[in-house]
Chains A and B, each alone.
Chain A
Amino acid sequence: MSGLSIQIRLPLADFTLDARLELPGKGITALFGPSGSGKTTLLRCVAGLARAAGQVEINGACWQDDSRGFFLPTHKRALGYVFQEASLFAHLSVRANLEFGLKRIPASERKVGREAAMELLGIGHLLDRGTDTLSGGERQRVAIARALLTSPQLLLMDEPLAALDAKRKQEILPYLERLHDELAIPILYVSHASDEVARLADHLVLLEQGQVVASGPTTALLARLDLSLAREEDAAVVIDTTVLAHDDDYQLTRLGFAGGSLQVPQRPLPVGARARIKIQARDVSIALASEHRSSIVNRLPARITGFGEALHPAQCLVRLELAGTPLLARITRLSRDQLGLTEGMAVVAQIKSVAVLG
């Protein structure tokens, strides 16, 4: 059976972690929630580092099934685990760290080659260094490569960027995107940073107080008005687009998706390449008709599908759909009433700013 099936129950100090999840067997699934919501514990239960009651099945391989008293110890699970802080063995060189897991995998079961992993994470030049001479970002890249070299069926990452400063984060994010694009290994990614989630995750699991509040595709979940995500100051949606064309005169790139197309300042991406974009709710305004001339380039026909409360009582959230693609707009309640916006109404979404991720 394909997919990750996780049923876990574990009483903790303040609440009971109780997660029942059916997750896609490929791509990056983010476990997202505030600190202390049980994300890391859930990850540790999947790894077998913490002992919860329940079942864990990973793409057909059973790791735990309490109904028949089965619990595979961590070292027998085909997983890779990247810890939050640097977890390299201090008594070993970078090379020996990488080989620590690799040498325990029979040659016939090695799917990720040494060269490929080193190239993927850009660590070839670090091999003979001691671990104490590496920067935080380099250490985390070595730790990721070390985990990959065990050819895992599942990669578990516990806030791998949390201990790094913003610059190091930017240094590692492209490598994580390459993992996603070039390897067929599903990744469970714990994070409390919405920007990482928006950039990396295909699927999103929202945890609060040990309970799963929502689970679904990132694009859909970010646009749900009933979840806390939409009420945050930097509420945004993400859309997966394809590069359609470049306009060299005006230095613009046209990105297409199910609901239309958008123009963004030119990016060095080949036509046909995939690009994920993020549109913040505060950057979307609403007009009634498209003939009004405006300096805003991206004006798309949309339909209002719902209203929600915003953080500040002066404002409200409007959920729009562009032929199935959801979008959030944050406007004042005054504007809503003056324009007479109602559910089902056809309007024009004016998008002031688009962030191309990656």
Chain B
Amino acid sequence: MTLTPDDWSAIRLTLELASIVTLLLLIIGTPLAWWLARSRSRWRGAVGAVVALPIVLPPTVLGFYLLVAMGPQGPVGQLTEALGLGRLPFTFAGLVVASLIYSLPFVVQPIQNAFMTMGERPLEVAATLRASPLETFFTVALPLARPGFVTAAILGFAHTVGEFGVVLMIGGNIPDQTRVLSMQIYNHVEALEYGQAHGLSAGLLVFSFVVLLGLNLLGGTRNTPGAGR
């Protein structure tokens, strides 16, 4: 069995999508996790629930509403058209936006947990050593939360790679644009090309395992949170 050019295209597209989404989520998710971990605002519970929604919501439901929102009649669609960006459904950009929402909790929650486990004390210590809140965030909070970031990146990446329902709803099946690995496997199965489906599926399985194992060995053992140091 050899991989077809279409297979390779799907692999490349998937890795691209997962990398971009993971990177963006780490940037967006960090301040959000910080706020969720430390705010005493009465909105905290509501925001936390919204962030967690994709965990329990069927991907098709999420995809359906995203499709509606991004469509010509939806608020997001009207905004993007007004900005001259065109419409998001059935484009790579649309997939990125959808994946950001879909994978958000898997990035935010580990970081939030790491910030909460760390507690108030290291931040107070830093303040008594003349570090401003911003310096404290970058020199104390981020390094101490490192295991949380590693977990967040792994989960965010893996979860985006494995996404199917949302892609099906808003991405369709356009080669080189939205046809990611899971779609390609689905196509092979539909066409009864079980050998091809097997190849990609097994590859995905091994890849996921290797990434998880590698990142765990790299980051998990050296600085476990809450080890009381």
Contact = CB atoms under 8 A, between A and B. Distances in A.
B124 A91 contact: no
A150 B140 contact: no
Given A90-B144, A90-B223, A131-B229, A100 B121 contact: no
B132 to A, nearest CB: 5
B115 to A, nearest CB: 14
A175 interface: no
A340 to B, nearest CB: 58
B126 A100 contact: yes
Interface string A43-80: 00001110000000000000000000000011110011
Nearest to B121: A87
A90 B121 contact: no
A189 interface: no
Contacts of B122: 87, 89
Contacts of B227: 90, 132
Nearest to B133: A75
A257 interface: no
B140 A75 contact: no
Contacts of A48: 127
Interface in B109-157: 121-122, 124-133, 136, 139-140, 143-144, 146
Nearest to A132: B229
B130 A83 contact: no
Contacts of B128: 47, 49, 74-75, 79-81, 101, 147
A91 B229 CA distance: 9
Contacts of A91: 140, 143-144, 146, 223
A312 interface: no
B127 to A, nearest CB: 4
A132 to B, nearest CB: 5
A105 interface: yes
A47 B121 CA distance: 14
A150 B144 contact: no
A75 B122 CA distance: 13
Interface in B69-89: none
A146 interface: yes
A132 B139 CA distance: 19
Interface string B159-187: 00000000000000000000000000000
Contacts of A147: 128-129
Contact of B125 (A79, A87, A105, A132): A87
Interface residues of A, number: 25
Interface in A120-166: 131-132, 146-147, 150
Given A87-B121, A89-B125, A101 B130 contact: yes
Interface in A69-122: 73-76, 79-81, 83, 87-91, 100-101, 104-105
B120 to A, nearest CB: 9
Contacts of B127: 48-49, 73-75
B28 to A, nearest CB: 24
B129 A146 contact: yes
Nearest to B144: A91
Contacts of A75: 126-133, 136
Contact of A49 (B124, B131, B143): B124
Contact of A74 (B124, B140, B143, B223): B124
Contacts of B124: 49, 74, 81, 83
A101 B133 CA distance: 14
A104 B140 CA distance: 14
Residue among B121, B130, B223, B227 facing the most chain A CB atoms (10 A cut-off):
B130
Given A90-B227, A91-B143, A131-B229, A101 B121 contact: no
Nearest to A78: B130
A105 B121 contact: no
B39 to A, nearest CB: 17
A83 B125 contact: yes
B130 A104 contact: yes
Contacts of B229: 88, 90, 131-132
Nearest to B129: A101
Contacts of A47: 128
Contacts of A87: 121-122, 125
11 contacts: A47-B128, A75-B128, A75-B129, A75-B133, A87-B121, A87-B122, A89-B140, A89-B144, A90-B229, A91-B146, A146-B129
Interface of B: 121-122, 124-133, 136, 139-140, 143-144, 146, 223, 227, 229
